[in-house]
């Protein structure tokens, strides 16, 4: 029989061995990203306002700005991003196997995705819900009239799963018509393969801009689910998780403290301690994450604060025309609440 002390020695030896192996095995996405010189960011195959390429293949949108903000924090250069378009069905595997360093693509945070894929959500950059789009000529005005409808939807999404819940709960019948990409789903709807197109409401508004006559379709007032959308990383790298999480918080905190792309240089002279800390004046909030002290300054200078990003891509003067609603700061009645940078 082992004596207690021998047992303890063995245990502590095991513990040291485990610590050593795990620290050797510890993933460093930050190091890998810096070595290759760019951030591989997984985006959608094309959703206006969120992640969408122009005719020259330049990507823009609310989700793209999360990629750009992370690159600004990591490299001091928001341009060092390679965008990898991913369908809903491919996105999680692409992240899990390391094809992308970050998934930033209208992806709903759910329990299954957070706990069973080896992945973790770093936060929420858009609060959404699932809705329905119909042709105006259909005469349908509310979701309750959708009994027996053929519903175009993308496979591998929460939209597909929520539909099943919604119809079961309301004891209605429906015929799902699944598609792999948003283009295919939209074309299916346009070609009359279904009566309804169901997806996150933000994406329905985005898709509506692609109709020759956007007024020929309408989005029903019902929201049948909660869709908190946000960026996702691999679960094995807490440093990288913190970098992405605090990049989101920096965007939100900057808005809360009135720091904008235009005034960020003047704000370096601000006497407000929280702003000084945020911009790396007299404080270094970067070092513990492996970043330089001006990481948040670079985000704001190159990308802007959350409000600026929102207005630029999806706000009331953009093609999508959204009010801030739930995506407003907590101090103005919305849900955005970033922990303090200290």
Ligand X SMILES: N[C@@H](CCC(=O)N[C@@H](CS)C(=O)NCC(=O)O)C(=O)O
Q: Which spans of this chain sit near ligand X (rule: CB under 6 A)?
A: 44-45, 47, 87-88, 106-108, 154, 157-159, 181-182, 185, 199-200, 203, 207, 227, 229
Q: Which is nearer to ligand X, 109 or 249 (CB)?
A: 109
Tell which residue, 19, 38, 22, 42, has the closest CA to residue 96.
42
φ and ψ of 13, to 5 deg:
-60, -45
Q: Which is nearer to ligand X, 208 or 301 (CB)?
A: 208
Tell which residue, 57, 1, 33, has the closest CA to residue 237.
33
Q: Considering Cα of 170, then 151, then 222, then 91, what sign does the dihedral take? A: positive
Q: Which is nearer to ligand X, 180 or 283 (CB)?
A: 180
Q: Which is nearer to ligand X, 44 or 104 (CB)?
A: 44
CB of 134 to ligand X, least distance (A): 15
CB of 32 to ligand X, least distance (A): 25
Distance CA 147, CA 61 (A): 35
The angle formed by the CA atoms of residues 329, 332 and 336, to the nearest 5 degrees, is: 20
CB of 260 to ligand X, least distance (A): 29
CB of 154 to ligand X, least distance (A): 4
CB 341 within 8 A of CB 250: yes
Q: Considering Cα of 62, then 68, then 70, then 73, what sign does the dihedral take? A: negative
Q: Which is nearer to ligand X, 44 or 298 (CB)?
A: 44
CB of 157 to ligand X, least distance (A): 3
Distance CA 286, CA 166 (A): 45
């Amino acid at each position: 029989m082992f004596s207690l002390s021998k047992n303890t020695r063995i245990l502590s030896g095991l513990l040291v061995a485990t610590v050593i192996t795990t620290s050797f095995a510890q993933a460093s996405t930050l190091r890998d990203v810096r070595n290759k010189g760019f951030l591989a960011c997984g985006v959608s195959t094309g959703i206006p306002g969120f992640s969408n390429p122009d005719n020259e293949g330049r990507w823009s949108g609310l989700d793209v700005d999360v990629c750009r903000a992370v690159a600004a924090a990591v490299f001091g250069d928001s341009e060092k991003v390679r965008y990898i378009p991913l369908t809903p069905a491919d996105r999680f595997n692409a992240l899990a196997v390391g094809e992308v360093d970050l998934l930033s693509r209208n992806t709903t945070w759910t329990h299954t995705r957070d706990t069973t894929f080896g992945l973790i959500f770093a936060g929420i950059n858009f609060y959404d819900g699932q809705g329905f789009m119909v042709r105006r000529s259909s005469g349908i005005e509310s979701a309750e009239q959708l009994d027996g409808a053929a519903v175009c939807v993308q496979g591998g999404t929460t939209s597909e799963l929520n539909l099943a819940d919604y119809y079961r709960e309301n004891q209605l019948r429906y015929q799902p018509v699944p598609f792999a990409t948003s283009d295919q789903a939209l074309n299916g709807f346009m070609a009359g393969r279904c009566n309804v197109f169901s997806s996150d409401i933000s994406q329905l508004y985005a898709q509506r801009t692609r109709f020759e006559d956007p007024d020929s379709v309408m989005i029903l007032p019902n929201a049948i689910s909660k869709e908190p959308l946000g960026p996702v990383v691999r679960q094995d790298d807490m440093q990288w998780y913190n970098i992405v999480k605090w990049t989101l918080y920096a965007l939100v905190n900057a808005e809360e403290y009135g720091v904008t792309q235009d005034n960020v240089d003047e704000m370096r002279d601000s006497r407000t301690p929280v702003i000084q800390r945020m911009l790396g004046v007299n404080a270094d909030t970067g070092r513990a994450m492996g970043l330089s002290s001006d990481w948040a300054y670079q985000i704001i200078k190159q990308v802007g604060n959350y409000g600026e990003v929102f207005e630029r891509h999806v706000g009331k003067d953009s093609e999508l025309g959204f009010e801030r609603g739930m995506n407003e700061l907590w101090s103005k009645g919305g849900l955005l609440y970033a922990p303090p940078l200290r």
